[in-house]
Amino acid sequence: MKISFIVPPVIDGNKQPAERTAGCTRVVYLAPNIYELTAVAVLEQENRYDISYHDMVYDNAGVDQLDDFLAADDSDVYCLWTVNLSIENDLMAISHIREHRPKAFVVLMGPGPTHFIEKCLADERVIIVRGEPEMTLRELAAALEKGEGWQQVQGTSCLVDGKVRNNGFRPLMKSLDDLPMPARHFIADHRYYNPKLKTGPYTTMVTSRNCPYRCIYCVPSSLTFAREIENRRETGHKPFISYRSPERVEEEVKMLHEQGFKAIGVMDDNFIWKNNEERTHALCDIFKKYDMLWGCQARVDAITENVARWLGESGCRYVDLGVESFNDDILKYIHKDITVADIHHAVELLKKYNVPVKLNILIGCSPLETRETVKHTLREAKKLDVDQVMFNIVSPFPATEYYEQCITNHWIDKYVPTDVQRESILNLPHLSSKEMERMLFWNNIQYFLTPRFVIKQLRRFTSWSEFTHALSALKIKLFG
């Protein structure tokens, strides 16, 4: 059986493609979809399928190239990783598949089809893999090859006689150690670049899945959001955290080192665990041992003196801190479970050990937000003099607590997928969507084009290539 994984080109008229790993923005700089490549590797383990991988976004392909590929291809199954922002585009891609391969199966994974089941079931040969995909995809592929039982696979949804069939919940994996390494050989000729690390070759990896905290707006990465949507649907609460052991992480880092990689972005929703500093120390030692530059995401209340020192000693070149606001009332409302004082303390510790800091700020995450709270947050962020600040506008994603509040209070009419880096559908009591979009744009201008920021960044570049990549990413971020 022949299986093709496809990242479709932009065919829905948008200027930029949807970013499919974080899942809530359009592409600013390209990165490998490590979640999808892990699912690919699981099927490769079976040693029975003819598998190919086609990233048409990386190849800068258009609809003509998609049609040319489909006209020449004879795959039995096409797999797409779909996020909310890519649903319309991917449904169009399915229509192109149907023109050339009307009897082929199409398998959709990711948070988009996990939540929007009916919308994504375009026909009776489309199958949705809900939540965590690997084990479901393995069982589904075997059933499709056999030609029977595929309509009953646990963790899938499909149409049967025109009606939606949601097969039962697939339990989540507790340990990730049994998963194979992502199938990076399919993208061996691809070159990715992360402006925060400013070196390459660069790739991404995962050491854990999900986050236990209770932020009302939170949309984790696309894999863990799919996992969370499905688990909440079944159990009513967030999923447990799944880990890879330090030993298994070291196997991958060693392999990447031997393959010539110099930089790694850790895609965990939360890399540092307050109740398990030993694990953080062990992972930092691994990156240091193999001379990797790397970065991660963390909560400010997890940054202790020890953690900051380990990060600094290990080659960590960015920590993304989700701070959202510099207003304690807003932080309390959104159940962030941190204070402004915690933010300052974490930044001070990281700067003490020369760890570059990126602050993630989320405009509109509470009805308490006003023009003045946004301006105050910008002023406070600039005072901290960190390496970078990311401003976004909250999107009330279905399956979050904030979405329910927004619907109940009529702060949104209906959900429409938006790029959180520039668009809003939210109208709060003291701040309209248009005001938020204007403030987001001018916050970016006032921050990224200040002489202090420009000079600090220029000093960190070591080549013209690094500078041009970063400049291109900044241009897309500011102007689309």
pLDDT of 155-174, one tens digit each?
999 999 999 999 999 999 99
Please give the average per-residue pLDDT across 391-397, as a whole number: 93
What's the pLDDT band for 412 if we cut at 50, 70, 90?
A: very high
pLDDT at 283: 98
Which of 77 and 200 is assigned the larger pLDDT?
77
| Long-range CB pairs of 51-55, under 8 A, 24+ apart, other chains included | 51/2, 51/3, 51/4, 51/5, 52/2, 52/3, 52/4, 52/5, 52/186, 53/4, 53/5, 53/183, 53/186, 53/187, 54/4, 54/5, 54/6, 54/7, 55/7, 55/187, 55/190
pLDDT at 219: 87
Q: How does DSSP assign 184-236, residue by residue?
A: GGGGTT-----TTT--SSEEEE-SEE------TT----HHHHHHHHHHHHHHS
pLDDT at 24: 85
Residue 269 to residue 296: CA distance in whole angstroms: 9
pLDDT tens readout for residues 203-239: 999 999 999 899 999 988 999 999 999 999 999 999 9
Residue 464 pLDDT > 60, yes or no? no
Per-chain mean pLDDT for the chain: 93
Please give the average per-residue pLDDT across 85-92, as a whole number: 97
Residue 454 pLDDT > 80, yes or no? no
What's the pLDDT band for 458 if we cut at 50, 70, 90?
A: low
Which of 444 and 7 is assigned the larger pLDDT?
7
Residue 405 to residue 396: CA distance in whole angstroms: 9
pLDDT at 300: 97
pLDDT at 15: 85
Domains of the chain, start order: 2-160 (3.40.50.2300), 184-479 (3.80.30.20)
Please give the average per-residue pLDDT across 278-291, as a whole number: 97
pLDDT tens readout for residues 23-49: 888 988 899 999 999 999 999 999 999
Which of 412 and 275 is assigned the larger pLDDT?
412
Residue 254 pLDDT > 80, yes or no? yes
pLDDT at 282: 98
Residue 441 pLDDT > 60, yes or no? yes
Q: Which of 6-10, 74-78, 122-126, 441-445 has the weakest average pLDDT?
A: 441-445
